[in-house]
Structure 1
Amino acid sequence: MAERAAGSPGRSRRSWKDMGAERRTAAVTEGFGGTRPRLAVVSSVLPFPRTSGQAQRVHYTLQAARERFEVAYVTVAPKDQTDEVSRRLREFCDESVVLPSLWPGQGREAPLRRLRGAAYVARTGLKPSNYVIGRVELSPERLRGVLETRRFDCALFEYWHASESVRVFRDKGIPCVLDMHNILWRSYARQLEALRMVPAWLRRWAVERYRRREEEAWRRFDRVIAINREEERYAAETLQPGRVFYAPMGVELRAWPYSWAPAEPKRVAYYGGLGGAQNVRTALRCAQAIMPEIWKSQPAAELWLVGSNPPEELRRLAADSRIKVTGFVENVRELLRTMSVVLCPWSGRYGFRSRVVELLALGVPAVATADAVDGMELEPGQGIRVAEGDVGLARAALELLDDARLARATSAAGRRRVEELFDFDHTYGRLMREITSWLRTAKEVAA
């Protein structure tokens, strides 16, 4: 039987899905010599387990990138774990490059390396993690070795700690993009505010040194990615508008279906990883300052502290039978959907509260400070109520607890807003389309 020629009726037997995939592949490879462009993702953060916002963002970034790029993931792991990490990464990328960790080293090398790290911190005003990642684990010398036998069309760095290695890619004509995750000098300022024993002038000086170093690092990249609208504005002013992509934290709507079903007695929650100092302080504020105001009107209401790694000072709160401290929850969606309202009394205008987006996707109303939702394009009534101060936050929560109609309207509006702004395609999918288009245009101009 003769073979069918291309374009003959035999092609119609293929599924529309297959034909659509071919069209997408053709669109992606156009301008790249008929092959998928190669993307190196340089990161000390792994896409698993997805228990933190940063790991979640890396996970979704890789998922979107693989639709348009051939992805190589460059990271580090302890020497006895490199094979296992490499094996697990195969699910997320086309090639894994797992460098054995060099920190802190062995024998006499370890104290010397720690001493050099301390000197670096004192000289630059940066953190130990900047030295460990940028000068040791993902140093220019190590990444130069990665590039010896590999070709890439673009490099994407998660966080700016390894920014000195950008020059290695630049030397080979490879454009570099930075996912800022958030403006780190702002989170550093918030951390220093807790150190009341340190004079205010010294805290300001330390933050200013860190800010200058961070913004100097941004300038090494061809483009940066901002995580919220306010940080996009700031980065555009610091660099220039054409050098900033915008990609907020998104969610897979199928994984976070609208399913709000508030339980009785009414449940008020705080949701977030409970191992960090900021979240611990915020959870304590909910228990010790906001809930007492709510209990005046709703004495049976429960407070649920939902998150992994709660320290003992939070676990002790469960001595009050109305307070539940969950620790890690395997299927957190099933628990969250039973909450009447979730509190987010965050302080500090930086980053992105991805947990708020997850809550709104489920339909759970949230009460937040203006800081918590700064730059997220969420307005009062769109799944959230905005208030300030312990009494103000408690009153806003009580309005939702006492008015079922208001709570239902807030719930539905929140889900609609997430569908408009934060689904996977509007966030990570759009980012990868924009990066591909930018690379293609740059190649055309260079040609």
Structure 2
Amino acid sequence: MRILFVSSIIPYPPVRGDKLRIYNIIKQFNRYHELKIISFVKNEEEKRNAKNFKKAGYNLTTVNLPRITGIFNLFRMVINKDPLQVSFHYSKKMASIIQQETRQNNYDIVYFHLFTVAQYCRSVKNPYSIKVFDMTDATALYLQRYLEIIRNPIKKFFVKFELARIRLYEHIIKIFDVTYVCSMVDLNYLRTRIPLINIRHFTNGVDTDYFQVEKQTYKKHRIIFVGSLPYYPNTDAVLFFAKEVFPKIKISFPDAEFYIIGSNPPEEVKSLASESIFVTGFVEDIKKEYLVSEVNVAPIRFGAGIQNKIIESLSLGIPTVSSKLAVESFDEEIKKFIFTAETADEYANMVSKIFNNSSIRDSMMIECIRLIKEKMTWEKLVNTENIYLESLVEERKKTKLNNKID
């Protein structure tokens, strides 16, 4: 098949959730099909990332979208009802390139990644191309949950304003042949709001070529949190754990250490650094950080989708303590290997339980590793959707042939 990918982000390096997902999907599809990727670049760092992505052998075309242009685009919100993030990513050049590509090339599939580029589905000029929308998360569900914890009235007003626009804009799903989300919770939420749409559960996976279990001596009482820290649910989780949970753990385990690992930590996270709290920023080998830790934590209090930090840690057999919200998207047979908590006391008790029982890691997590490899590898997940999309393409080809005959 010939597939055109359109994304608002450069899928490289795969260092955060949205990049990680599209990078691995492209990587797997590239093994079987002819691919072209079109993406925005917004700054010099993204331009360097684009060059490295091209060097890796991918056919990439970029469209410049400087921050000042995106901000200027927000004035469009005065005359239309598009959400802020959709208006920011408006580009005549992007629309023109997609029109030209789909007019001149016979793409079987045009795959739009993320909510911000769904607007360009109207630029596809080949009526027989299958239009795919990888929404990943239900954005409205994310903002709805965010509203529940906001205390600042001004921020609350603007989030409500954006949420109202997103709920209207979500109906763009109806234009696509298939929409993907990575969580059954998100899928059910969208089906309730927008009936009669073709939406499929395409969960996130793990790259088992990289995340292979190795014999590694872990450090007792070492706790790890992994995540992109500009993403506010991660910042909130880290602040909650460091300020409300970790002091309780230190009472029983004074040598406990908490490692916060993720790119671009904001000042409020950097300020947490102490003799026992380490804010590392980006690290080259995230697998090593997991393996030398005794416990992984994911105290996410709002958000949507599925947590890569949990999939990765489970694939390596690292016990994880998480909020119930963060594990709601996992299969029941995998959920039983994740320890859940809600209050600061519950988190402290669960971490202490793991500290006091080495058999959890040594025996219980072995079965979990097997299950992740069986059900959640990127190769397996993408192959399932590859078969499905090939069937849609074949049906569309039959339709095209019948139209010619008629």
Which TM-score band (shorter chain)?
0.7 to 0.9
Residue 118 (structure 1) aligned with residue 71 (structure 2) = no
Distance 1:288 1:103, change over 3 A: closer
AA partner of residue 126 (structure 1): P
Distance 1:400 1:380, change over 3 A: farther
Q: Distance in 2 between the 1:260 and 1:394 partners?
A: 27
Whether the 8 Å CA contact 1:159–1:180 is kept in 2: the answer is yes
The Cα RMSD (Å) is: 2.9
Q: Distance in 1 between the 2:337 and 2:176 partners?
A: 36
AA partner of residue 132 (structure 1): F
Q: How many residues align?
A: 401
Residue 269 (structure 1) aligned with residue 224 (structure 2) = yes
Q: Where do residues 77-96 of structure 1 align in structure 2 (5 Å cutoff)?
A: 77=41, 87-90=51-54, 95-96=59-60
Residue 203 of structure 1 and its aligned partner are, at CA, apart by: 6.7
Q: Distance in 1 between the 2:250 and 2:48 partners?
A: 49
How far does the alpha carbon of each residue in 1:156-202 deviate from its partner, in whole angstroms, 9 at most, with x for none?
00013232321232554322000011111122234444542327995
Aligned partner (choices 423, 426, 430) of residue 380 of structure 2: 426
Residue 404 (structure 1) aligned with residue 358 (structure 2) = yes
Whether the 8 Å CA contact 2:324–2:340 is kept in 1: the answer is yes
Whether the 8 Å CA contact 1:226–1:244 is kept in 2: the answer is yes
Q: Distance in 2 between the 1:168 and 1:330 partners?
A: 39
Residue 340 (structure 1) aligned with residue 304 (structure 2) = no
Residue 43 of structure 1 and its aligned partner are, at CA, apart by: 0.8
Q: Residue 7 of structure 2 corresponds to which residue in structure 1?
A: 43
How far does the alpha carbon of each residue in 1:201-230 deviate from its partner, in whole angstroms, 9 at most, with x for none?
957853651342342121121110111122
Residue 357 of structure 1 and its aligned partner are, at CA, apart by: 0.6
Q: Where do residues 270-309 of structure 1 align in structure 2 (5 Å cutoff)?
A: 270-309=225-264
Q: Which structure has the larger Rg over C-alpha atoms? A: 1
Whether the 8 Å CA contact 1:270–1:286 is kept in 2: the answer is no
Q: Where do residues 352-391 of structure 1 align in structure 2 (5 Å cutoff)?
A: 352-379=306-333, 382-391=336-345
How far does the alpha carbon of each residue in 1:382-431 deviate from its partner, in whole angstroms, 9 at most, with x for none?
43111221111111111111111233333223312211221122222222
Q: Residue 19 of structure 2 corresponds to which residue in structure 1?
A: 55
Q: What fraction of aligned residue pairs are identical, expressed as a percent?
A: 19
Residue 173 (structure 1) aligned with residue 140 (structure 2) = no
Q: Distance in 2 between the 1:97 and 1:417 partners?
A: 38
Residue 251 (structure 1) aligned with residue 215 (structure 2) = no
Q: Distance in 2 between the 1:386 and 1:81 partners?
A: 38
Distance 1:421 1:121, change over 3 A: farther
Q: Distance in 2 between the 1:329 and 1:305 partners?
A: 11
Whether the 8 Å CA contact 1:368–1:384 is kept in 2: the answer is yes
Determine helix, strand or coil for the equivalent of 1:317. Answer: coil
Structure 2 gap segments, 5+ residues each = 402-406
Q: Distance in 2 between the 1:82 and 1:331 partners?
A: 21
The normalised TM-score by structure 1 is: 0.80
Whether the 8 Å CA contact 2:264–2:282 is kept in 1: the answer is yes
Structure 1 gap segments, 5+ residues each = 1-36, 106-112
Determine helix, strand or coil for the equivalent of 1:393. Answer: helix
Whether the 8 Å CA contact 1:367–1:397 is kept in 2: the answer is yes
Determine helix, strand or coil for the equivalent of 1:268. Answer: strand
Residue 42 of structure 1 and its aligned partner are, at CA, apart by: 0.6
Determine helix, strand or coil for the equivalent of 2:74. Answer: helix
